[in-house]
Amino acid sequence: MKRLVIFSVFMVALAWTQKTNYKGYKLLRVTPQTKEQLAYLVNLSRSPDTKGWPSDLKTLDFWRDPTTLAQSVDIFTDNGALMEQELLSKGMQPSTLMDDVQSFLDRRQAENTNSIAAGSRFTETYHTYEEIIDYLNQLANSNPLVSVSRIGVTDESRDIVTARISSGGGDTKPAIYLECGMHAREWIAHSTCIWIIDELSTLYGQIPEITGLLDRFDWFITPVSNPDGYVHSWLNDRLWRKNRKINPSSPCIGVDTNRNFDANFGGVGSSDNPCSDTYGGPSAFSEAESQAMRDILLSLQGRAKAAVSIHNNAQVWISPYGYTTERPADYAEMVSSI
Ligand SMILES: [Zn+2]
């Protein structure tokens, strides 16, 4: 029995240290020049499961989606040669942005470790979930403009924490809500929220623009809105995107909380396959992370003037709703405030 326990502990330790390796995975860039090429890429990007993919491809992920003609598209895949051939057969000229994604990830991780060791500012490097929570608590203890609160708890019992930065004015003051890190692997998003929290809280009273932003609005900022996924992206799989929900009746883990809102739930761009990176979950708001965001926005009803979800890579501002190109009724007002 004792031997069995020791063996089990060994297996757990082995599983814990084994990271997903992306050696040989490639990132390709291609620019559609004809309507047919664009339609092919759009179709492929909206087939989140292996259905419709070139055969033998195990991973196909659009890091920059096809939108319009002459706009480049980035494709991450385990079989670059096959994908390249497929694109060439459609008359496109793919180029290789990353020949071996794993070596790129290793390089960036080493740069971050070295930068922290060299004493870089907290806001200039990437940090673990625990380090971010410590930073927020310390800021709240030392800066009267900042308070932190828990807006939800994940399946793995981690707090979803939101910082409020306020120069006073009571609970009816107009508010702005920012959320970062819904997709675990998009680390620059988490860092962007931390940067904004730091700038607002330390430069109030020194820079007129920032003073004005705080005097006009209370800021509610959730820098790690998917803590379980974020921790997993540090420890096990740098490119993990979803949360860590255990899906009953499937060996695959995780829900894309960005597909879990009650807005065209299960529609285009979302998958009902738990193994897909865009799996929307069993029902709208089934996930602790999307519930937390819903609840904080409901609590700010009548006060919230803007709610922005920050991701990375696409370099675009997207107005509601992501599933359609139809503009919402208040589109003009939104554009003017951007
Ligand atoms: Zn994202």
322-332 per-position pLDDT tens digit:
888 899 898 99
In this structure, the answer to whether residues 135 and 232 fall within a common structural domain is: yes
* Percent of the chain residues past pLDDT 70, beyond the cut: 94
* Amino acid 264: pLDDT: 93
Cα separation, 144 vs 168, in Å, equals: 10
Q: Where residue 49 falls among pLDDT bands split at 50, 70, 90?
A: low
Q: Is residue 8 part of a domain?
A: no
What is the maximal distance between C-alpha atoms in the chain?
69
**Is the pLDDT score of 85 beyond 80?**
yes
**Token pair 């705080």 is at which residue?**
214
Q: Please tell me whether residues 68 and 167 are part of one structural domain.
A: no
189 CA from centroid of ligand 1 (Å): 9
> Could you please report the per-residue DSSP string of 72-125?
-EEEEES-HHHHHHHHHHTT---EEEES-HHHHHHHHHHHHHHHHHTT--GGGS
Cα–ligand 1 centroid distance for 323 (angstroms)? 14
Rounded-to-integer distance, Cα 71 and Cα 325, Å: 17
| Mean pLDDT score, 308-316 | 88
Gap from CA of 164 to ligand 1 centroid (Å): 23
Cis amide leading into 40 (omega within 30): no
182 CA → ligand 1 middle, Å: 7
Task: Give distance in angstroms: CA of 277 to centre of ligand 1.
Answer: 11
Asked whether residue 18 is domain-assigned, the answer is no
The structural domain count of the chain equals 2
DSSP single-letter state for residue 159: E
Ligand 1 midpoint to CA 242 (Å): 10
Is residue 13's pLDDT more than 60? no
Domain coverage including residue 33: 26-102
pLDDT digits (tens, 9 = 90+) for 145-194: 999 999 999 999 999 999 999 999 989 999 999 999 999 999 999 999 99
Is residue 93 located within the same domain as residue 130?
Answer: no
pLDDT tens column, 216-268: 999 999 999 999 999 999 999 999 999 999 999 899 999 999 999 999 999 98
- Asked if residue 9 has pLDDT above 60, the reply is no
Assess contact for 222 and 179: CB atoms under 8 A. yes
Specify the CATH number for the domain of residue 79.
3.30.70.340
Considering the domain architecture, whether residues 150 and 282 belong to the same structural domain is answered as: yes
pLDDT band at 321 (very low <50, low <70, confident <90, very high): confident
Which DSSP symbol is given to 249?
Answer: T
Q: Retrieve residue 181's tokens.
A: 């890190």
193 inside domain:
yes
Please give the residue that has the higher pLDDT: either 274 or 51: 274
Check pLDDT > 80 for residue 310.
Answer: yes
Cα of 178 from ligand 1 centre, angstroms: 14
pLDDT per residue as tens digits for the range 53-77:
777 788 899 998 898 999 999 999 9
pLDDT tens-digit map of 23-33: 999 999 999 99
Is 202 found in the same domain as 98? Answer: no
Question: Is there a single domain that holds both residue 88 and residue 235?
Answer: no
- 221: domain CATH number is 3.40.630.10
150 and 280 part of one domain: yes
For all residues of the chain together, what is the average pLDDT? 92
Paired with 62 in beta bridges are: 75
d(CA 245, ligand 1 centre) in Å: 18
